[in-house]
Structure 1
Amino acid sequence: MTTDHEIRHAERRAHALAMGGERKLAARAAKGELNARERVARLFDADSFRETGLFATSNIDADQHVTPADGKVTGTGLITGRRAGVIAYDFTVKGASSGAVSNKKMGHLKDLTARSGMPLVYLAESTGVRMPDVMGGTGLGNADDRTRFLRRRTNPWVSAAFGYSFGSAAWHTVSSDFAVMRKGAIMAVSSPGLVGRATGQQVDGQELGGWKLHSEVTGFADAVADTDEEAIDLVRRFLSYLPSHNDEAPPIAPVPEGSADRGAQLHDIVPDERTKVYDVRKVIEVIADLGSVFPVKERYGKSLVTALCRINGQSVGVIANNPMFKGGAIDAAACAKATSFLVLCDSYNIPLVFLVDQPGFLIGVDGERSGIVGKVINWMNALSLATVPKVTVMMRKNYGQGYVNMGGAWTADATAAWWTAEVSFMDPRSAVGVVHGIDAAADPELYERRLAEMAKESTGYDVARVYGVQDVIDPADTREFILGALEDNALNRTGGVGEHHLSNWPTSY
């Protein structure tokens, strides 16, 4: 016989699970958008979600019956067998606006995942703070945000931004170690409507904070997805490269057959001539285990590639110059991208591999206005602080301060040069003009003589002669060199765990 308690419990549960109601849920489905609970189901392994706070509602009496779960679906579940936490914003409940109770739920998940050592995933979509709850002196005076957005990187934070992502949805996204934006999403401090009323100008949402802006200009979006499903799948895949927390090594994956048999392809991919371009992403694909390359910030700072991959089953972070864009010259965006990636890898015990083919930093008025000087030294400082194993392979040209930032001058633990490497303070062709004030057209014979002087002792063998690199290798042997260097420099005494000097680095740039 069903008791009154059981009936009332079932009714309350059904009301909470109904979220913002059938009409709002149907409207989302018609647009091809998942609701918060469907996103959670996609994120976690089947039947593994354990919810916390299902019966929470707004603490404002008038909103008690119209705020199921107070607009946030929270709890834990399994992602490929490993436990993780989730905070999913339910846009059907008052636009997923944040109130006192939902903030309490989110704070609990942050604390729980940090203490327990599990990743935390934000499925973000929100209109921001809930007004009029916070209006007036009492609204703000009751706040206690001392550690609300504190990031110590003890456990991974990952975010996916789907639609409007204002207020805490934006804060959590840019605080995360990896952020994906679905196409059509808008992430900003405030909505286009509020910005328009404040400035008197009509503001386009995509121009204000769209996925293109954040993937190509600000760099806040590490990846872009076409659909909700793709965004969540990217989150799951990203986490597969990371440990559950910073006190363990990343998981080891099976090595696909044939992964180690492709080294000779590098002879065809990379031309010997320094002036001919190629796509370094093809080099990474050959060196890495088959199907394991996962780009990070692919649309931002394109002259530098940052990617997670696996080499012999081990998670590795790759930083590589790409001559396909700006000839591989390193601009301010690429500097910021490199620094962000160093922070990620060092915080979660992921060894780093540098693949070098760069003509130096991009110089000129635009570069200086973008603050490249500070970004170069930020990168250098982060590199010096990183304690995970670092391996450098100099492929072709390697000039100037970029030589240092890309793992030269003993900033890496192991270095090798391809037999095609050319290393110097400056491109010898430019140096002739700087030192002698001549060019090839004015006096070809003198130019060639001076060029030979400037280009002397700039091969990989010359660097090896003074032990600036430990070996000169056939490009086909690159994967084997990296594997050996990682074995020699593994953090065996600490179980693969580094010192995490970068874990308190600012969360955005």
Structure 2
Amino acid sequence: MHHSQDLQQVLALREAMMTGDEQRLKEQRAAGKWTARERIAKLVDEGSFVELFALAGEQDMGAGVITGYATVQERPVYLFAQDFTIRGGAMGKLQAQKITKVLDMAHKTGAPIVALCDSAGVKLDEGAQAMNAYSEIYQRMARLSGVCPMIALVLGPCIGGAALLASLADVSIMAKKVGQLMVFGPQVLAAMNGVDVKPEALGGAEAIASQGGCTLVAEDEAHAMALAVRVLSMLPSSNLEDAEIIDSDDMNRLLPALDPADVDSLWAALADNGQVLEFFATYETSIRVALTRMGGRTVGLVATAKGQTDGKLTSGALTKAAQFVRLMDCYNIPVVSLMNTRGVYVADPSAQISLIKAQSQLLYAYAEATVPKLCVVTGDAIGQAYVAMGGKANADVTYAWPSATISALTPEAAVAVLYKEQIAGNATIPVEEARRQYADEYVRDVAGALNAAKAGLVDDVIDPDRTRALLISALEMLASKRDSNPAKKHGNIPL
């Protein structure tokens, strides 16, 4: 009887801490948002969630965040979910302690972390303690980076310190209409400088995605959960494992006739069942990056694209690609680069340091990565863009399509330097026609794919139809690759 009474007290306390504020619950429903517990139930395998530290703190001081572990597609994950219906999901000392405990457990056991973010900020009545609480979480996340995948779902306001939770994650997913990511909310900005900005325009999913502030944008919360499950399925549980191999498509399937500039069609043709998950899809599109599977293996795709700069790479795109390559290297995922670029884009000739740094970052990321690295030159590979994208020096295998051009300058620019006098001195042929003829000659004799193969700059000139089959074969061959960087604390990437 005594045990029964004690159990009833525990259950009553647990029930009280699970019940959100009635008014906030109504607001949550009105905003079209799920509760924290509903989100967990939608994300994990049915009945698998085990809550940890539910009774932490006096009364309900530890409420506002739910922590625990579960399985997603039968793989273990740790998670924490901020509960906006309890004090707006505000972060305090006890909430941080609960989160740091599950982060520590993920570190020890080698399992991914999923964060369901929905918080109005910190507990102001705790003062500096609340700020230190966030610092404890940041420190754990920084040390966990590259050890276990961290995925953050922004499903409500993430303002101030909460915004860094999403930024420190490996993958961040924002739901349209409900997700908000910002340092200062509209009210604070209005008080600071009198500017009145709508929350969606300031920190909504599409606004943040256009600035590279989130990895993926979801149409709603259900879509966000589906994206999280899909990302988890393509990543290993930790850096000590490889992603699961799932055979589902013909490895020797031939490619249809493709335009090298059509990245979407090229990706779909290379990927198993045409399925590709693009990261940062609306940000700096002169380079595009994505997760996919080829021959059942998870692969990171990096492809140059026309974007808004006619195939020239911007500094932002170079940095985006560098971040992606480093993420792939963290979790033992091979990188396949598809190169078709006319060089780098100089927006302001008097301010080129950002472009120099961005090129250095991508070059560094490729050079430092020890995972299998494959490259296919599908079109142009011109100048510093070729070097920054890895080039032959930083790829295990490099292929070129027959129509590829590999050169320090575009053929047009090269002949303007090399054949300036011949073009000017030929009175029998119009200048433009002479330039075209010399450019064709330059490609044939110097910059063409065959010449690159003869010089050892590519390993082979291949039939485009067989690109998928050859890449999968190379991935199989490199699956046992063992490479390591020199012993050091860490490198000094040019940030």
Per the TM superposition, whether the score is higher than 0.5 is: yes
What residue is the counterpart of 2:471 in the other structure? 482
1:142 & 1:179 partners in 2: Cα distance? 21
What residue is the counterpart of 1:33 in the other structure? 33
The equivalent position to 1:388 in structure 2, one of 361, 371, 387, is 371
2:487 & 2:156 partners in 1: Cα distance? 35
What residue is the counterpart of 2:241 in the other structure? 248
Change (3 A) 1:168 1:491: farther
Q: Post-superposition shift, 1:103?
A: 0.6
Change (3 A) 1:250 1:144: closer
What residue is the counterpart of 2:13 in the other structure? 12
What residue is the counterpart of 1:49 in the other structure? 49
Amino acid at match of 2:393: W
- Does the Cα contact within 8 Å between 1:343 and 1:505 map onto a contact in 2? no
- Whether 2:197 is the aligned partner of 1:203: answer yes
- Does the Cα contact within 8 Å between 1:243 and 1:249 map onto a contact in 2? yes
Pairwise mapping of residues 484-503 of structure 1 onto structure 2 (< 5 A)? 484-491=473-480
- The answer to which structure, 1 or 2, has the higher relative contact order (CA under 8 A, 6+ apart) is 1
- Whether 2:98 is the aligned partner of 1:105: answer yes
Change (3 A) 1:231 1:502: farther
- Does the Cα contact within 8 Å between 1:71 and 1:94 map onto a contact in 2? yes
The equivalent position to 2:119 in structure 1, one of 120, 123, 126, is 126
Secondary structure of the corresponding residue to residue 63 of structure 2 = helix
Secondary structure of the corresponding residue to residue 343 of structure 2 = coil
Which shifted more, 24-33 or 154-163?
Answer: 24-33
- Does the Cα contact within 8 Å between 2:371 and 2:481 map onto a contact in 1? no
Change (3 A) 1:476 1:235: same
- Does the Cα contact within 8 Å between 1:302 and 1:334 map onto a contact in 2? yes
Aligned residues: 485
Change (3 A) 1:177 1:501: farther
- Does the Cα contact within 8 Å between 2:97 and 2:133 map onto a contact in 1? no
Change (3 A) 1:254 1:143: closer
1:335 & 1:418 partners in 2: Cα distance? 23
What residue is the counterpart of 1:288 in the other structure? 271
Change (3 A) 1:8 1:504: farther
What residue is the counterpart of 1:275 in the other structure? none
- Does the Cα contact within 8 Å between 1:386 and 1:500 map onto a contact in 2? no
Deviation readout 1:161-205 (Å, 9 max, x if unpaired): 112101342111000110111112221123221222233332332
Unaligned runs of 5+ in 2: none
Percent of paired sites with the same residue: 29
1:187 & 1:288 partners in 2: Cα distance? 32
| CA RMSD of superposed structures (Å) | 3.0
Pairwise mapping of residues 224-303 of structure 1 onto structure 2 (< 5 A)? 224-256=217-249, 258=250, 260-261=252-253, 263-265=254-256, 267=257, 269-270=258-259, 278-303=261-286
Change (3 A) 1:27 1:449: closer
- Does the Cα contact within 8 Å between 2:90 and 2:123 map onto a contact in 1? yes
1:26 & 1:206 partners in 2: Cα distance? 21
Unaligned runs of 5+ in 1: 272-277
Q: Post-superposition shift, 1:213?
A: 2.6
Change (3 A) 1:282 1:370: farther
1:140 & 1:45 partners in 2: Cα distance? 34
Change (3 A) 1:508 1:49: farther
Amino acid at match of 2:431: D
Change (3 A) 1:492 1:302: closer
Q: Post-superposition shift, 1:33?
A: 1.1
What residue is the counterpart of 1:444 in the other structure? 432
What residue is the counterpart of 1:274 in the other structure? none
Change (3 A) 1:291 1:11: farther
- Does the Cα contact within 8 Å between 1:159 and 1:180 map onto a contact in 2? yes
When normalised by structure 2's length, the TM-score is 0.90
Amino acid at match of 1:177: D
- Whether 2:181 is the aligned partner of 1:190: answer no
Secondary structure of the corresponding residue to residue 197 of structure 2 = coil
Secondary structure of the corresponding residue to residue 126 of structure 2 = coil
- Does the Cα contact within 8 Å between 2:21 and 2:87 map onto a contact in 1? no
Change (3 A) 1:93 1:372: same
1:374 & 1:142 partners in 2: Cα distance? 34
1:404 & 1:500 partners in 2: Cα distance? 22
- Does the Cα contact within 8 Å between 1:174 and 1:507 map onto a contact in 2? no
Change (3 A) 1:342 1:132: same
